[in-house]
Amino acid sequence: MKAISPAISAMIVALTCISPLFPQEGESAVFAPYPSRIRVGVRGREVVITWEDSPDVTAGYAVFRNASFPDASNFGDALLLGYADSGSREYAYQPPDEKPYYYFVLGRIAENVATGNEAEYRLFIPLRNVPIEAVAASFKAPPAISAAKAADKAPRLSGIIARAEADSIIVSIDASGDIGRLVVYRGTKPLKDSSSLLDAALAAIIEPDAGPYHDFPVPGVDYYYAVLPERDFIGGRISLQAGVNATIVPVSIQA
């Protein structure tokens, strides 16, 4: 038979202990409000505790942590992290270490109804205001993006194809990332470098998501095409690579 974990054992004991809080035959109920549906998670280096607000809690909430599953017997070992107002549903805390802790929330007792030295309703109800698992924050930095991966995500042109269709030439461009607007050049000779653009014509400036460009040049002439990011063109960074952003094979419209 498998051993029962300390958290599960404590949960069974806690559920047994809270039974007097509910009406029994011939008895009156003890009123002790508490939050419910507690959730504990990690966001960056913070531990985030959320819960369902109780309209019966009028003096706010106290948020604690404990190294052991919290109950009445070890409440003295718990560390008070802070307070949250009534109506609040979240509390964020950055622990000083990466050790696992149990985080829990208690309803505070209003001064006008306090009858003893206790400042909170010390109810420890698993899955309501006490989680059954400890949570640890992580201070490890996210893995650095390698230079190769960063280069893959950089805006770039990766292919160009030109083909004739009816009375137009369709130029298809493969681009990735935030490439910006594109400058399309058309020439009657291969476009290999910046000097070859001097003899070419500026055919169009197109948006990156405009799809294939339809050009309507003079029929019967062989044409080559090249594409450059507008920002590179303006900055004087002109780089032409055959098959990447400059066509290799000429294309023409039938005269």
The per-residue pLDDT for 211 is 85
Query: Is the predicted pLDDT of residue 140 greater than 80, yes or no?
Result: no
Number of domains in the chain: 2
Task: Count CB-CB contacts under 10 A for residue 82.
Answer: 11
Q: State the average pLDDT for the chain.
A: 84
Which of 78, 107, 136 delimits the end of a domain?
A: 107
Least reliable range by pLDDT among 70-84, 134-148, 160-174, 204-218: 134-148
d(CA 102, CA 114): 27
- Are 98 and 169 contained in the same domain? no
Q: Which long-range contacts (CB under 8 A, 24 or more apart) does 138-147 make?
A: 138/42, 138/45, 138/98, 139/45, 139/98
Helix (H, G, I), strand (E, B) or coil at 93: strand
Q: What is the pLDDT of residues 181-220, one digit of tens each?
A: 999 999 999 999 988 998 999 999 998 888 899 999 999 9
Residue 151 lies in a domain: yes
In a domain, 131, yes or no: no
User: pLDDT tens digits for 4-21?
Assistant: 455 555 554 444 444 444
The confidence score (pLDDT) of residue 10 equals: 52
Which of 82, 107, 132 lies at the terminal end of a domain, its last residue? 107
Task: Decide if pLDDT at 141 tops 80.
Answer: no
Residue with tokens 């400058």: 183
Any domain includes 29: yes
Q: Is the pLDDT of residue 23 over 50?
A: no
Looking at the structure, tell me whether residues 92 and 12 fall in a common domain.
yes
Q: Are residues 96 and 22 part of one domain? A: yes
In a domain, 86, yes or no: yes
pLDDT tens-digit readout, 163-180: 999 999 999 988 888 889
Mean pLDDT of 77-92: 94
Instruction: Please check whether residue 22 lies inside any domain of the structure.
Output: yes
CA–CA distance, 101 with 40 (Å, rounded to integer): 10
User: Which is more confident, 18 or 145?
Assistant: 145
pLDDT tens digits for range 114-130: 667 889 999 999 989 99
Domain of residue 58 covers 6-107
CA dist 103 to 58, 60, 81, 121, 175, Å? 21, 17, 9, 16, 49
Q: CA angle at residue 196 from 232 to 243, to 5 degrees? A: 70
Q: Strand 36-43 relative to strand 168-176: parallel, antiparallel, unpaired?
A: unpaired
For position 2, what pLDDT does the model report? 44
128 within a domain of the structure (yes/no) = no
| pLDDT tens, residue by residue, 54-65 | 999 999 999 999
Main-chain dihedrals φ then ψ at residue 162, nearest 5 degrees: -120, 135
Whichever domain contains 45, its CATH number is 2.60.40.10
Cα separation of 223 and 217, whole Å? 9
Same domain, 11 and 96: yes
- Of 14-28, 73-87, 93-107, 173-187, the range with the lowest mean pLDDT is 14-28
Q: Is 133 among the domain residues?
A: no
- What band does 80 get if pLDDT is binned at 50, 70 and 90? very high
pLDDT at 156: 81
pLDDT band at 233 (very low <50, low <70, confident <90, very high): confident
Q: What confidence tens digit (pLDDT) does each residue in 150-161 have?
A: 555 677 888 899
